[in-house]
Structure 1
């Protein structure tokens, strides 16, 4: 449980930092926290199913296809949360990359 809370907070911070450099639209700073929570739930429920279904693509691309799955999760979060908008696949890809790097860095720090 503690790990999930940390991941939500790291994702929230990554969303906030990504919004400084990319055209992410959030109505209020609280939307970044909600986006982190929604992304955590999406990653908990939907991402494992997509990872299993795309094992052949992940094997062929040596795991790079996981970045596409992360992009889809960011786009789904954007679609589910009113007031939080990521304008396209390219921006969602960069946000997903930033969130992944932030979560990896957090995991390495523990």
Structure 2
């Protein structure tokens, strides 16, 4: 149940973030739900591999390279999800940062527990 709530909150946060940023477009809430699911799967499967492969760059940049990895995950999700588009790497980077902030605020408002 907690996973479904997190997906719904992430989808809503993605809609809000896409509304704020002009370089990101989400067609409808169904596309946002699919985007939230795809992001969850990519963060589960692809992100750990990318983090491991880029560990020297991540250490050298004191963790800032993780923002680049997040942007790559967003760009990959844009290729996989119809109805979601990002105008470029810069917008993907900004989208990932704003999405993290907005979804964190929404999760705290929704009363999500930290199990």
TM-score by length of 2: 0.81
Q: For 1:99 and 1:47, how far apart are their aligned partners in 2?
A: 17
Residues 52/10 of structure 1: CA separation in 2 closer, same or farther (3 Å cut): farther
SS of corresponding position for 1:94: helix
Q: For 1:66 and 1:59, how far apart are their aligned partners in 2?
A: 10
SS of corresponding position for 1:46: helix
> How many residue pairs end up in the alignment?
109
Matched with 1:75 is 75
- Report Cα offsets for 1:10-38 as digits up to 9, x if no partner: 32122111111113222222111111111
CA RMSD of aligned residues (A): 2.1
TM-score by length of 1: 0.84
Matched with 1:39 is 39
Matched with 1:84 is 84
Segments of structure 1 that go 5 or more residues without pairing to the other structure are none
Q: For 1:81 and 1:87, how far apart are their aligned partners in 2?
A: 14
